[in-house]
A = this chain, B = another copy of it.
Amino acid sequence: MSIRIGIYGYGNLGKGVELAIKQNPDMAAVGVFTRRPPEAVKTLTGIPVYSVSDAEKMKNEIDVMIICGGSATDLPTQTPTLAELFNVVDSFDTHAKIPQHAANVQAAAERAKTTAIISAGWDPGMFSLTRLYSSAVLPDGKDYTFWGKGVSQGHSDAVRRIDGVLDARQYTVPIESAVNAVRAGQTPDLSTSEKHERVCFVVADESADKARIEREIKTMPNYFADYKTTVHFISAEEMAREHKGLPHGGEVLRIGKTGVNGEHTHVVGYSLKLDSNPEFTASVLVACARAAARLNQEGVYGCKTLFDIPPIYLSAQNREDLLGKLL
Interface residues of A (CB under 8 A from B): 16, 19-20, 23-24, 44, 95, 98-99, 102, 119, 124, 126, 128-133, 135-140, 185, 256, 258-260, 263-276, 279-280, 282-284, 287, 290, 305-312, 314-317, 319-320, 322-324, 326-327
Q: Contact between A23 and B140 (Cβ–Cβ < 8 Å)? A: yes
Residues in chain B near residue A315, CB distance under 8 A: 132, 135-136
Residues in chain B near residue A326, CB distance under 8 A: 128, 131-132, 135, 307
Task: Please give the distance in Å from A109's CB to the nearest CB on chain B.
Answer: 15
Q: Given contacts A266-B280, A269-B269, A272-B266, is CB(A312)–CB(B323) below 8 Å? A: no
Q: How far is the CA of A218 from the CA of B196 in the complex (A)?
A: 47
Q: How far is the CA of A98 from the CA of B320 in the complex (A)?
A: 10
Partner of A327, one of B124, B290, B310: B124
Ordered by A's residue number, 27 sampled pairs between the chains whose C-beta atoms are within 8 Å are: A20-B258, A98-B324, A98-B327, A119-B327, A126-B268, A128-B326, A131-B326, A132-B326, A135-B317, A137-B284, A185-B273, A258-B275, A258-B276, A258-B279, A259-B275, A259-B276, A264-B279, A266-B272, A266-B274, A266-B275, A266-B279, A266-B280, A269-B271, A270-B270, A307-B311, A307-B326, A308-B319
Q: What is the count of identical protomers in the complex?
A: 2
Task: Please give the distance in Å from A268's CB to the nearest CB on chain B.
Answer: 6
Residues in chain B near residue A267, CB distance under 8 A: 271-274
Q: How far is the CA of A272 from the CA of B287 in the complex (A)?
A: 25
Residues in chain B near residue A307, CB distance under 8 A: 310-312, 319, 322-323, 326-327
Q: Contact between A132 and B305 (Cβ–Cβ < 8 Å)? A: no
For A98, A266, A276, which residue has the most chain B Cβ atoms within 10 angstroms? A266
Q: Contact between A314 and B258 (Cβ–Cβ < 8 Å)? A: no
Which partner residue on chain B sits nearest A275 by CB separation?
B264
Residues in chain B near residue A263, CB distance under 8 A: 275
Task: Please give the distance in Å from A86's CB to the nearest CB on chain B.
Answer: 21
Q: How far is the CA of A263 from the CA of B99 in the complex (A)?
A: 36
Residues in chain B near residue A99, CB distance under 8 A: 320, 323-324
